[in-house]
Amino acid sequence: MRKYFKYVYILGLIVIFFNIITNDTSKNQKNINEIKFSDFIEKVKTKQIESVKIKNDSIEGTLKSTTSKKTDEKISIKDNENNENEFKTKVIFYPRLFELLEENKVPMEVVEEPQSKLSFMGLIDIFSSLLWVFILILIFKSMKGDKFGIGKSNIKMFTPNMQRVRFTDVLGVDEAKQEVSEIVDFLSDPHKYSRLGAKIPKGVLLIGAPGTGKTLLAKAIAGEAGVPFFSTSGSEFVEMFVGVGASRVRTLFEQAKKSAPCLVFIDEIDAVGRHRGSGYGGGNDEREQTLNQLLVEMDGFETNNGIIVIAATNRVDVLDDALLRPGRFDRQVYIDLPDLKGREAILRKYISEVNILSNIDINAIARGTPGFSGAELSNLVNESAIIAARQNRKKITQEDIEYARDKILMGLEHKTKTMSPDEIKNTAYHEAGHALCSVLLPGVDPIHKATIIPRGQALGLVQQLPERDKVSVNITEIRSNIAVALAGRITEELFFGKDKITTGASSDIQAATKYARNSVNFWGLSDKIGTIYYGERDKYPISEATAREIDEEVKKMIDNGYKLAKSTITKHKATLEKLAQALLEYETLTGDEVRAIVKGEKIKLTKKMDVAKNRIERKFTLPLTKTTKNEEKKTNENIQKKRQEKE
């Protein structure tokens, strides 16, 4: 395109030059007054016309000099460029025109001009139009040749020297690494497979949740094989111009062919690989044109030997079937969230990169982060470092990591949140009910901590951590979990009465209902409904009678859980009272402390700061009523009495 700029520049100068000439010429031309034809006839009859020139379609003439009627001063004839005595009018069919001029003795001259004669301004207009046509031709030629880069793929290429990621850097996905290891062998020694007649997969689809390490695994494959690595995203192929995405796909594979053997990595391929036929007008849109070109490049008439395409997505359900057939992405590698062993390995890697104490229990941290991806574990360590730096510590402690985990899972502590003594007491008994049932009922994950410090939208919570990663649950565990979820509401009812029940059990009721509905609709654990998969009602329409039966079974499971929790709390009411009082005094209890209180053991609670007093001082920032002051005084007396007993 650069070579055309000089021509456009020259043509632009020519246009400017002609505009200057046109302006100068128009300035030199006289400004002739144009009058109506009727006024012209009237002036002829009143003998005001000096002379006229009759052309093809107009009449030009000169008026006689006149004297003002008011001043009787003679108006001098202006000989400058704006001569007011000159006039012009359009010729209108008037049969007696020449007779009228002769009768009034007006000198006249007939001037004939050819009709096809072009004016100077007409030439300028034609030249300007041709110039614009020439510029448009250059633009379209440039777009066709992709001189503007619209169809160019915005791909990043990494050479083997730039690839520093290896399989040892990818942790927690051992099965996936084993699945793709043969791709490394093929790229390193292709004859090992070709002499046996084996064909390496052309495409590998990495499927997993966000943050599980799909992109990192693709880089590790290229790093282990020592081949060039091309990286792009599915969204970079989709543009508003039709055909641009297909052009970028062609450009991508043209670059890859020059560097074969190599790897091409397409992240978030679902942006361009969705099912065809679902777009506007039947689906024949730019995205589908791009997908069609990608399908042809991967397995068309022309073979792309030595090019392995790796794509990543977390929405495999929306991909087109033609993209997943053998010959294209014929190998699908699922990258799951890391298990306990994988989380430990990932934590060790990220912890080694920060300044941390040597006595950190990594296994406890790994057990406390079920469902965390590699990216989330990295964020956990980083949050811990930020918290430690905020406290002016030189090294990260176990408490910093636990605080960061609680912040990620449950939200930030609201230590300044205003709560009345009744709300604090209600929260303590509510969480004590959860904690009691968590310890006593079978199949429940061990309790990690119980707290009445508000976090996120919760006024308090009981945190449970599994001892191992679970892939399934049995009916006993489901019933116990439903009872634990309902225990807080039941405790409020038993200790404060039905008229004192609060809205704090909203999330608990939602969790219990989800357990019960999944048991009936998805897991087939209802004797009455049977082993039938009903799923979501909007996807699997069911009859009104069946929907009524499902609702009845869900309510039955909730009622059974309610009865189980109520009987457990009623039987151990005194123990729950001890738990609630401990929460009121210390705000937070560890799992070991909760279990010791439930067993009736004499325990020595971990030394904590005087949080109870601080909490009470924070609560009464507003004017207090007489009743509230008495409650505050009574609470302070109880706390002081307990301290003296311990001392």
Rounded Cα distance, 450 and 162, in Å: 49
Q: Kindly report whether the peptide bond that precedes residue 421 is cis, defined as omega within 30 degrees of 0.
A: no
Rounded Cα distance, 266 and 264, in Å: 7
Diameter of the chain measured on Cα atoms:
139
Query: How many other C-beta atoms can be found within 10 angstroms of the C-beta atom of residue 87?
Result: 21
What single-letter amino acid sits at 341?
A: K
Distance of CA 523 to the CA centre of its chain: 33
Rounded Cα distance, 503 and 489, in Å: 9
Look up residue 219 and give its two tokens: 């880089």
Pairing mode of beta strands 262-267, 229-233:
parallel
DSSP string, 220-241: HHHHHHT--EEEEEGGGG--SS
Burial 362-396, CB ≥16 within 10 A → b, else e? beebbbbbbebbbebbbbbbebbbebbeeeeeeeb
Q: What DSSP designation does 162 have?
A: G
Rounded Cα distance, 159 and 461, in Å: 51
The residue annotated as part of the active site, out of 431, 492, 585, 593, is 431
Q: What DSSP designation does 32 have?
A: P
Rounded Cα distance, 532 and 523, in Å: 8
Beta bridge partners of 396: 356
Rounded Cα distance, 561 and 552, in Å: 14
**Residue whose token pair is 């001189």:** 147
Distance of CA 187 to the CA centre of its chain: 35
Q: What angle do CA 488, 494, 500 make, to 5 degrees?
A: 80
Look up residue 74 and give its two tokens: 């003679």
Distance of CA 470 to the CA centre of its chain: 31
Closest to 493 in 3D by CA, of 422, 447, 426:
426
Total residue length of the chain: 647
Q: What DSSP designation does 204 have?
A: E
Any catalytic annotation for residue 302? Answer: no
DSSP string, 264-315: EEEESGGGT-BPTT-SGGGG-SHHHHHHHHHHHHHHSSS--TTEEEEEEES-
Query: Could you give the C-alpha distances from 142 to 135, 138, 146, 150, 634, in angstroms and in order?
Result: 11, 6, 6, 10, 86
Closest to 267 in 3D by CA, of 222, 329, 317, 205:
205
Cβ–Cβ under 8 Å, residues 212 and 346: no
Active-site annotation, residues: 431
